[in-house]
A and B are shown apart, each in its own frame.
Chain A
Amino acid sequence: MVGLSLGEKHFIQGGIDQNLRSDGRKRDAYRPISIETGVIPQANGSARIRIGATEVIASVKAELGRPNALQPDKGKVAIFVDCSPVAEPMFEGRGGEELSTELSVALQRCLMGGKSGAGAGIDLSSLIVAEGKICWDLYIDGLVISSDGNLLDALGAAIKAALSNTGIPRVQVAAGASGDEQPEVDISDEEFLQFDTSGVPVIVTLTKVGRHYIVDATSEEESQMSSAVSVSISRKGHICGLSKRGSAGLDPSVISDMISVARHISEQLINKLDSEISAAEADEDEM
């Protein structure tokens, strides 16, 4: 992926040891984040987020569907990530597939909570229109346009922004349909319901290089990592999901430490994202 000479590797590692990374950041500093919402008119909600040179788009589409027979009181959410060859030639054909599934699975784990729905960022029961008959199916798609590390955090933030930008049409269910009949629905094209995104967690990835861990690693820094832990943290400070990448094992005490560092960082990140998202929404309204 990233071809680095020995000197460059030492430079990156040495910089991280001294808390001064190649681009002048400290270990716990993010690159500048910018968010734009409502970038895809065909979708119910969308957002583009740029973190340094990493750029991703998330779109949310809502379609009416039938709830799962086992969970008649819940809607469905599907998360897919596409790594476009636009970002990197390696992603061409099936090359990006592995990364795509890894990201989708990690996002699903971070956003959808446990099997019973506890800790989910998206309240599935709010997606129900008529119990057992009609529900909203949310299709959340992430697209990687430019990849310079830290894709998971960027995708998580983009989905959060896209969801807060999402308006779901109000649906009138015609009364009178009885039994197994599928009731008739009337989808309003004027009235939209805002999506409650206060519970959507943020994802903080800590990348371990040498003895230290850094946030928001660039792909050059990622190539030097021994392992990385992605933690999704809700506003309340609860852990909603965690996944680990990288081959090297970690001492349990290091993991606990990483989780508490991630929690501390998440507080700043949530505030930062919230203000960026509301600024982006205000920009969009002005247009």
Chain B
Amino acid sequence: MTSKGGAAPSTYTPAPPPTYKAQRPPFFTDSDADWTRSDGRGFHQCRSAFFRTGAVNSAAGSAYAEFGNTKVIVSVFGPRESKKAMMYSDKGRLNCNVSYTTFATTVHGQGSDNKEFSTMLHKALEGAVMLETFPKTTVDVFALVLESGGSDLPVVISCASLALADAGIMMYDLVAGVSVSCLGRNLIIDPILEEESFQDGSLMITCMPSHYEVTQLTITGEWSTANLNEAMQLCLDACSKLAKIMRSCLEEAASASKD
């Protein structure tokens, strides 16, 4: 905030959002196929994913994920004793929290729906974690979105499952999350922020690819059955590919620590 007064033009808010309006029409013309995504990807092509475990030293486990401009860091603490006020439980508890840095979005401090994201993260993970392996205790999963570049929640979920694995928390499988946006007649996988801002509908799947089980699924907007099935299949395929990348990241980290 100290540099506020002397903000050089290069540090000023980048391309203002109003330009989206001007871009919108191409989706509805007949030449849908001519339109290319602003980052040059095909409609069914995900951003290249980058994962690294061990981002935070003091945490039991942590991971950093970068999908294009979406940058997320997740740390896992625990298991620790559950708070005294909590009732006895023969299963472990997950305590999930998602927060945005104040500079994550183009508008200062706009990272909204945190609470919703936190519950969604919890729901996506609870089916995959073997909660019965740490009774009476709580595992904290804290996610911080450093930069919001679209598809934040799926990235947070994938990154969190990697951090849990890094912390040595037992899970049935890694959880990979992918979202698809519906724009006009097109299905666009792994949407970036500007694509998300004018989407007609969105679908997010988090799944355990080796189990072929969906842990969480949300749909907004209007969908026909054919579109829905296609989108679900797209997501599931992308999830299994994503999980391979996550797995190789874990293997890399394990072999590095052995040496």
Residues of A within 8 A of B (CB): 70, 98, 101-102, 105, 109, 112-116, 118-119, 229, 234, 238-245, 247-252, 255-256, 259-260, 263
Contacts A114-B199, A114-B222, A118-B182 known; 6 new A-B pairs at CB < 8 A: A113-B201, A115-B198, A242-B217, A243-B218, A247-B126, A251-B213
- Taken residue by residue from 167 to 211, chain B's Cβ proximity to chain A (1 for < 8 Å, 0 otherwise) reads as 000000000000000100000000000001111111000011001
B27 closest partner in A (C-beta):
A116
- CB B94 to nearest CB in A, in angstroms, measures 10
Q: Which residue of A lies closest to B221 (CB)?
A: A114
Question: Among the listed A115, A119, A229, A251, which residue makes an inter-chain contact with B197, where contact means beta carbons less than 8 Å apart?
Answer: A115
Instruction: Please give the distance in Å from A2's CB to the nearest CB on chain B.
Output: 15
B101 at the interface (CB under 8 A from A): no
How many Å lie between the Cα of A46 and that of B79 in the bound state? 47
Q: List 12 A-B contacts (CB under 8 A).
A: A105-B119, A114-B201, A115-B221, A234-B222, A239-B219, A243-B217, A245-B123, A247-B123, A249-B207, A252-B207, A255-B232, A256-B229
For the complex formed, measure the closest distance between the CB of B131 and the CB atoms of chain A, giving whole angstroms: 8
Known contacts A114-B222, A248-B127: does B213 contact A255 (CB below 8 Å)?
no
Binding site for A on B (CB under 8 A): 17, 115-116, 119, 123, 126-128, 182, 196-202, 207-208, 211-225, 228-229, 232, 236
Decide: A118 and B232 in contact? CB cutoff 8 A: no
Q: A239-B228, A247-B127 are in contact. Are A109 and B214 (CB under 8 A)?
A: no
For the complex formed, measure the closest distance between the CB of B151 and the CB atoms of chain A, giving whole angstroms: 13
Note all chain B residues with C-beta closer than 8 A to A263: 225
- Interchain CA distance A175-B167 in the complex, whole Å: 66
Contact B200 A118 (CB under 8 A): yes
A115 to B197 alpha-carbon distance, docked (Å): 6
Whether B208 contacts A109 by the Cβ 8 Å rule is no
Question: Complex Cα distance A112/B222, Å?
Answer: 10
Contact A119 B222 (CB under 8 A): yes
Name which residue of chain A comes closest to B216, CB basis.
Answer: A244
B residues less than 8 Å from A240 (CB atoms): 221-223
Residues of A within 8 A of B207 (CB): 249, 252
Determine the chain B residues whose CB is within 8 A of the CB of A243 once the complex forms.
217-219
Residues of A within 8 A of B211 (CB): 249
Q: Nearest Cβ in chain B — how far from A190, in angstroms?
A: 36
Once the chains are docked, how many angstroms separate the CA of A251 from the CA of B215?
9
Most buried by A among B17, B219, B232: B219
- Given A244-B217, A252-B214, A238 contacting B222 (CB threshold 8 A): yes
Given contacts A114-B201, A256-B229, whether A249 and B213 have CB atoms under 8 Å apart is: yes
